Chain A
Amino acid sequence: MIKLVVKTIICVILMAATMALIWVIPGTHPHDLAALLNKKEMLIVKPSPRMILVGGSSVLSMKSELISKELRYNVIDMSSWGGMGTFEILEEIKPYLKPADVVLVTMEYGTILDKKFYEYIHTNDEAKKFLFLMSPGRHILDSLKKREFFNLFKLMHELVQMKTKSFLLKIVTLNFSHLFDIGFPGFKDEFTVNGDRNRPYMVFRPLGDSKTNFSNPDWEKLSFLNDFNDFAAKRHARVLFYFSHFPENKYKENETYIEAYYQMMKKNFKGTIINKPGDFIYPEEYFADTIYHLNEKGESVRTPEMVKMLKKAL
């Protein structure tokens, strides 16, 4: 019996050591949100002055090279799909914020006005994993303080599993030159040097996410923007906010709630709002697969308009 117990302990130690080793060595995680790690790298590396884009997947198609060229900022597109945890992304940015940085934030209408969507974003386990991965130390301490030992183990185990499978694929395909890349596998193929998508969203009809069920906004859900604005001000950085694009028909359907959102922001937000909701309202032909994603045509209109607004605001 003692022999059995000893061997069991050895096995547990071996597995724990393997898990720690895989956690420590660099590797990619085959998940869209792993791109956040690559974007965080940009945040560390790119020199000031920077324009940091924060928002959902509506931002990902931005042609930020144009912003960079016209405004002479180094752009870092920190956006990710679904507007996952804007609060968390801003928290990640904080330690790396430098004087003269500009943080350009948007919160897509669905993420604020659609209760179900809001709920989805804030309970999404996939997002939690990658937000955890951006600052593991901080999150581990948080979990330990909250005594969430099992959840902590589960999350770390799932991340290690992802990394293991990624290693396995690279070994099987003899892709040793990228064995120790980090973040999203093939980040350089899928994203630009600024972190935008390399390819436009594909066009599909009918548009996805069109079953919007909006209601009046709640400032409580956005008050963190003011906290971040205060923090940025102390660092001599600026926070700009803009209302995202939306299809014409959907805008008309939900004008009351969108207007309420605008009024609420005007009344409460301490930073600069650079546009009105009506400024980025486009016909359906400008959209790709969902009401939040512009196609190539839409994007080639939106980005220049954004540049103009930014020039005015800066």
Chain B
Amino acid sequence: MLFNSIDFIIFLPTVVLVYFLLPYAWRWIWLLATSCFFFGYFYYSSYVAGTTPVYYYIILVLSVLSVILVDYLIAILINRSKSGSSNASKIYLLIGILFPLGLLFIFKYFNFFNQTVSQIANFFMLNYPTRVLNIIVPVGISYYTFHSISYIIDVYRGQKPERHLGIFSLYILFFPKIVAGPIERAGMLIPQFREEHTFDYQRFTDGLKLMAWGFFKKIVIADRAAIIANEVFNNPHGYQGIYLIIACFSFIFQVYCDFSGYSDIAVGTAQLMGFKLTDNFKRPYLSTSISDLWRRWHITLIAWLRDYIYIPLGGKRVARWRWQYNIMVIFLVSGIWHGANWTFIIWASLNGFYQLFSIWTENIRDRFNNLIGLTKVPRFHKALKILTTFLLFTFAGIFFRANTASDGFYIISHLHTGFGDLFKIIAALDYEKLKFFLVIQNKVTFLGFAKPAFLPEMATLALTLIVWYGVEIIQENSRQPLRLLISQKPWYVRWALYYGMLFALVFLGVFANQQFIYFKF
């Protein structure tokens, strides 16, 4: 079930209402049942009789159930073996990690791995027949795999295992976070399932406001920007530099608003029922460096990678070369986690390279900034750093969105094309020609929009981006959520702002049921 669907508008109030009406002891059952329904609804709504064999779905359900059961049992076994042989607990730990990872590999990476081996074999003139595994990839597999692995490692490190199978299942399947996070630690979430939440008006309305802001980012900004990005990235050879650049920026706004929008809706949804999920974003496009950006972007994934890979590898407390190696490993794992495609690996490598490059050049840059006096104008310096970080991230984002690595390279190599004519026309102030230049020949649409709709849609996108950016800046400066600041204002200011938000959602939203980008990861 998509958050931005009518089904969810019916589903959520029903779940919340029944949740508060039920006696405390029954609530986990209700949440588990509705989470299973939420998860299964993806397949129910997309199932077309005769197109996909039913056993594909049975395999899919069994895979999820097996992850839950295996990790539930393994955690108990680890806990028991801790008092006895430590070798046994290590073996259990290994099984507990490899089992979900193995399933993740089969479902998500097997075909990619096979194709890559086949390409290498072809290069060396060897015969390696490519076999494609026709299976349905479970929604949110990367997320619940990481949930289960973190749980097993935490138990190995001394956390108590969850003995209640229902509660543990709920930890894996809890519907606000099952498909695209946040990646919650068992130690944070499981105790909340045992708490008795009462209806709290303030908390409830605060959750609603967070959801509204998430929906604003998703349906007003991301889904509108997606139209441009999809049009150009799906056919980059049909477009010149200016369009490619517009599409790159559209995508970079889309991906943030889409994913952070999703996270806000997820956190807000959980908050309605009294659960606290971790914030996944902290205004990354106001970061002053790439390392700062990665502390603010997809926070729960980065924290996971830090705690379960980076630190065990030695983190920063190793030789300098080894530390840099660890950084690169983290980025590569992050790239592979995002998807079975070279584009993600290149995207992650680029970000890793940025990070390393900034380490290598730190002293030189500091000296240079002092030399030209940038440090004497800290505000300008900060703005410049934010802009540079944003542009670098946008550049890497080309590979994140490109359908293939060769598309990505094509786009990069053509970003500068077609400007000669454009500059000449602008210089001549020939408006008619400029209009012609901006209309791609023989297409009834313009950057994905019907031609008459293009300018109104662009004006809407520009305005809403300004609103969003303004909110981000206010929150960055005040260091607290805007909704808390608003709640301190007089009632008429509050209502005017709420009205504006509702107006934007109802009258400027794109209601095309577009999937969230991170659903496919």
Q: Is the CB of A30 within 8 A of B459?
A: no
- What's the nearest-Cβ distance from chain A to residue B437, in Å? 14
* In the bound complex, CA of A185 to CA of B452 (Å): 8
Indicate if the CB atoms of A18 and B503 lie closer than 8 Å.
yes
**Is B46 located at the chain interface by the 8 A CB criterion?**
no
Interface range for B: 20 to 34
* B321 at interface, CB cutoff 8 A: no
B23 CB–A CB distance under 8 Å: no
Indicate whether A169 reaches chain B with its CB closer than 8 angstroms.
yes
Known: A1-B199, A165-B460, A208-B442. A15 touches B450 (CB 8 A): no
Chain B residues whose CB sits within 8 angstroms of the CB of A4 once the complex forms = 201, 204-205
User: For B506, what are the chain A residues with a Cβ–Cβ distance below 8 Å?
Assistant: 15, 18-19, 157
- Other-chain contact of B507, A30, A161, A172 (Cβ < 8 Å): A161
Once A14-B499, A168-B463 are accepted as A-B contacts, the answer to whether A32 and B507 lie under 8 Å apart by CB is no
Contacts of B134 in A (CB 8 A): none
Q: Are A30 and B453 in contact (CB under 8 A)?
A: yes
A289 to B507, Cβ gap below 8 A?
Answer: no
Interface residues in A152-175 by Cβ distance below 8 A to B read 157, 160-162, 164-166, 168-169, 172-173
Bound Cα distance from A30 to B442, whole angstroms: 20
Chain A CB within 10 Å, residue with most, of B452, B462, B498:
B452
Indicate whether B502 reaches chain A with its CB closer than 8 angstroms: yes
Residue from the set B199, B459, B503, B508 with the largest chain A CB neighbour count within 10 Å: B459
Contacts of B452 in A (CB 8 A): 30-32, 34, 184-185
- Assess whether A166 is in contact with B456, with CB atoms less than 8 Å apart: yes
Nearest chain B CB to A255 CB, angstrom units: 28
Main secondary structure, interface of B, reads helix
Indicate whether A273 reaches chain B with its CB closer than 8 angstroms.
Answer: no
Shortest beta-carbon distance, B434 to chain A, in Å? 16
Are the C-beta atoms of A3 and B201 separated by less than 8 Å? yes
Q: Contact string, B97-113, partner A, CB cutoff 8 A, digits 1/0?
A: 00000000000000000
Q: How far is the CA of A160 from the CA of B450 in the complex (A)?
A: 17
Known pairs A204-B441, A208-B442; A160 contacts B507 (CB<8 A): yes
Q: Is A66 interfacial (CB 8 A cutoff)?
A: no
Does B62 sit within 8 A of A, measured CB to CB?
no
A169 touches B459 (CB 8 A): yes
B200 to chain A, nearest CB (A): 11
Determine the chain A residues whose CB is within 8 A of the CB of B509 once the complex forms.
161
Complex Cα spacing A11 to B212, Å? 13
B457 on the interface (CB 8 Å rule)? yes
CA distance A185 to B506 in the complex (A): 23
Which residues of A are found within 8 Å of B507, using beta-carbon distances? 18-19, 22, 160-161, 164
Query: Do the beta carbons of A168 and B204 come within 8 Å of each other?
Result: no
Taking CB atoms and an 8 Å cut-off, the chain B residues in 438-463 that contact chain A are 441-442, 450-453, 455-457, 459-460, 462-463
Given contacts A11-B502, A32-B450, A169-B459, contact A289 B201 (CB under 8 A): no
Q: Within the assembled complex, what's the spacing in Å between the Cα atoms of A160 and B507?
A: 7
Q: Is the CB of A168 within 8 A of B442?
A: no
Q: Closest Cβ of chain A: how far from B223's Cβ, in Å?
A: 13
Interface string of A184-205 (1 = CB under 8 A from B): 1100000000000000001010
Closest to A289 in B: B442
Q: Which residues of A contact B450 (CB under 8 A)?
A: 30-32
- Select B459's contact among A32, A165, A184, beta carbons within 8 Å: A165
Q: In the bound complex, do residue A164 and residue B442 qualify as a contact, i.e. CB atoms below 8 Å apart?
A: no
Known contacts A4-B205, A31-B450: A161-B502 contact under CB 8 Å = no
Q: What does the 1/0 interface line of A1-36 toward B look like (CB < 8 Å)?
A: 101100000010011001100100000001110100
Q: From A160, A168, A202, give the contact of B456 (CB < 8 A).
A: A168
Q: From B201, B453, B463, B503, name the one whose CB has the most chain A CB atoms within 10 angstroms.
A: B453
Q: Is the CB of B508 within 8 A of A165?
A: yes
A161-B507, A164-B508, A208-B442 are contacts. A30–B455 as well, Cβ < 8 Å? yes
Find chain B residues with CB under 8 A from A34 CB: 452
* Chain A: CB-nearest residue to B439: A202
Query: Which residue of chain A lies nearest to B451 when distances are taken between CB atoms in the complex?
Result: A32
**CB under 8 Å from chain A, chain B span 186-219:** 199, 201, 204-205
A56 to B288, CA, bound (A): 56
- Complex Cα–Cα for A31 and B459 (A): 16
Residue-wise interface mask of A (265-279) relative to B, using a CB-CB cutoff of 8 A (1 in contact, 0 not): 000000000000000
B460 near A31 with CB under 8 A, answer no
Residues of B within 8 A of A11 (CB): 498, 502
By beta carbon, the residue of chain A nearest B503 is A18
Question: Cβ of B457 and Cβ of A172 under 8 Å apart?
Answer: no
Contact B508 A14 (CB under 8 A): no
The residue of chain B having its C-beta at the shortest distance from the C-beta of A150 within the complex is B6
Q: Which residues does chain A contribute within 8 Å of B499, judged by CB atoms?
A: 14
Contact (Cβ within 8 A) B442 A173: no
Docked-complex contact A169 and B442, CB < 8 angstroms:
no
Q: Which residues of B contact A15 (CB under 8 A)?
A: 502-503, 506
Residues in chain A near residue B201, CB distance under 8 A: 1, 3-4
What residues make up the interface of B, taking CB atoms closer than 8 Å to A?
199, 201, 204-205, 441-442, 450-453, 455-457, 459-460, 462-463, 498-499, 502-503, 506-509
Extra A-B contacts (15), CB below 8 Å, given A30-B455, A30-B456: A1-B199, A4-B204, A11-B502, A14-B502, A19-B507, A22-B507, A30-B452, A30-B453, A31-B453, A160-B507, A161-B509, A162-B453, A165-B457, A165-B508, A169-B460
24 CB-based A-B contacts, threshold 8 Å: A1-B199, A3-B201, A4-B204, A11-B498, A18-B506, A19-B506, A30-B452, A32-B450, A160-B507, A161-B507, A161-B509, A162-B456, A164-B508, A165-B453, A165-B456, A165-B457, A165-B460, A166-B456, A168-B508, A169-B455, A169-B456, A185-B452, A204-B442, A289-B442
7 nearest A-B residue pairs (beta carbon): A165-B456, A30-B452, A169-B456, A164-B507, A169-B459, A204-B442, A172-B459
A-side residues, CB < 8 A to B, are 1, 3-4, 11, 14-15, 18-19, 22, 30-32, 34, 157, 160-162, 164-166, 168-169, 172-173, 184-185, 202, 204, 208, 289
